[in-house]
Amino acid sequence: MAALPFRLRWPDHIWPKPRPAPNGARIHTLIALRWLAVLGQTLAILFVHFGLGFHVPLELCLATVFVLVAVNVACFVVFPSSHRLSDHGAALFLAFDIIQLSTLLFLTGGLQNPFALLVLVPVTISATILSLASTMTLGALAMAITLLLSLFYLPLPWSADGLALPPVYLFGMASAIVLGLGFISAYTWRVAAEARRMSDALASTQLALAREQQLSALGGLAAAAAHELGSPLGTIMVVAKELAAEIEPDDPLSDDVTLLVSEAARCRDILANLARRPQQDDPFEYMSIGAVVRAAVDQHQRPGIEVAIEQRGNGSTPVVPRLPEILHGLGNLAENAFDFARSKVSIRIVWTDRAIRVSIADDGPGLSAEMLDRLGEPYVTSRPEDGGMGLGVFIAKTLLGHTGAEMRFTNRPEGGCEVVVEWSRAMLEKEPGKEPAIA
């Protein structure tokens, strides 16, 4: 496995790489939140004006709320409830909410209004459902408007004595809101991004396992087909050999009959190999641990890369189920080793009375300490230039973890990286007395 080249990289271990929200935002949800805002704004304006007796510019305030109502009704009529806004569309939707709320704040005292903190809400919503770029844009808009409201606003209609807040206090309020915007939106976006990354990675793992299970089912069908085709192929072989015995060597059809016999023999060998796969009614096939490892590794071999497999242990050879999770997990690890090896991949299978251990090592350049600590996390890769998604080791760790395995990665003193997969023998091994399907 390759070491990281020296270059600037996005600090993914501190901050997730920007990824737009895959499904956008459902407009029905945003419209429902707007109706709550309309209700709250209307009740607050009417209570302050009539209940507390503060004479706010009622007509202008209600007109501002009416604009929000009109836009919300238009969205409800134009878009179906299941419609999902794009990242850009949802950002514009929330930007309008920030501007509408800021207009109300301008009419009712600016930052002296205790409801000024509500400017945090649209940015927080953006952080949970939109991309980092959209969230940063909305945050910048909210911060700019907050600073403007600290300077320009219509005064609150206090009592006759009035209340004049000093500029330093207003500046402190603006600073608190700006810092709150930055911290809350950043934290919320990071948590949401981590959840999205994990959800995407688990979906990829489930897809990989489903494909392995389909291949396993296909193997059962192939074995059944081999069984059914065995009898007619045997008849073809008998007839072809009789024809070959009766035709003279100089007969024009001699070569054709010889070819027919050889091709029939080839078909017989193919069907014999297919018949070794598990039957449809078998829950799973049991194999020696060496055979399982070979089956996982062989499909990923590279030309020019030597493969050395060593087996040793105490007692009888473990016989384990040929699970798709094990095949795909070990296959992913072997594929990584072949990709980064210079000339050789070493596989060591060791067992004791209590444990089964499989190690896969390459003679490549190894990994940096940072990568060793983070291997197994989704979207972590040391080779972004080749289009890899960084899910191979994560999928392998997840699948093998489902079988009870533990994994660890180290750099070898002689060079290269080594991954060790270890199972409890009692958890993984076959029932006593059952023979392996393939030795």
Do both 71 and 187 map to the same domain?
Answer: yes
Do both 173 and 31 map to the same domain?
Answer: yes
Number of domains the chain is built from: 3
In a domain, 371, yes or no: yes
Do both 395 and 320 map to the same domain?
Answer: yes
Do both 186 and 56 map to the same domain?
Answer: yes
Do both 229 and 305 map to the same domain?
Answer: no
β-bridge mates for residue 360, sequence order: 347, 419
Q: Do residues 300 and 363 lie in contact, with contact meaning Cβ atoms separated by under 8 Å?
A: no
pLDDT of amino acid 226: 64
Structural domain range at position 149: 25-158+165-204
Do both 254 and 308 map to the same domain?
Answer: no
List the helix and strand counts (H, then E) for the chain: 12, 9
- φ, ψ of residue 436 to 5 degrees: the values are -70, 150
Structure letter (DSSP) for residue 438: -
pLDDT of amino acid 372: 74
Cα separation of 99 and 95, whole Å?
6
Enumerate the H helices of 14-86 as residue ranges.
27-46, 58-78
pLDDT of amino acid 69: 93
pLDDT of amino acid 217: 56
Do both 268 and 314 map to the same domain?
Answer: no
pTM comes to 0.45
Do both 195 and 48 map to the same domain?
Answer: yes
User: Residues of the chain whose pLDDT is less than 50?
Assistant: 1-23, 277-281, 283-284, 384-389, 431-439
In a domain, 7, yes or no: no
Q: For the domain that residue 420 is a member of, what is the CATH number? A: 3.30.565.10
Cα separation of 387 and 383, whole Å?
8
Last residue in a domain, options 228, 253, 274 = 274
Do both 302 and 390 map to the same domain?
Answer: yes
pLDDT of amino acid 357: 92
Do both 235 and 263 map to the same domain?
Answer: yes
Do both 185 and 59 map to the same domain?
Answer: yes
Do both 198 and 211 map to the same domain?
Answer: no
pLDDT of amino acid 213: 61
398's tokens = 């997840």
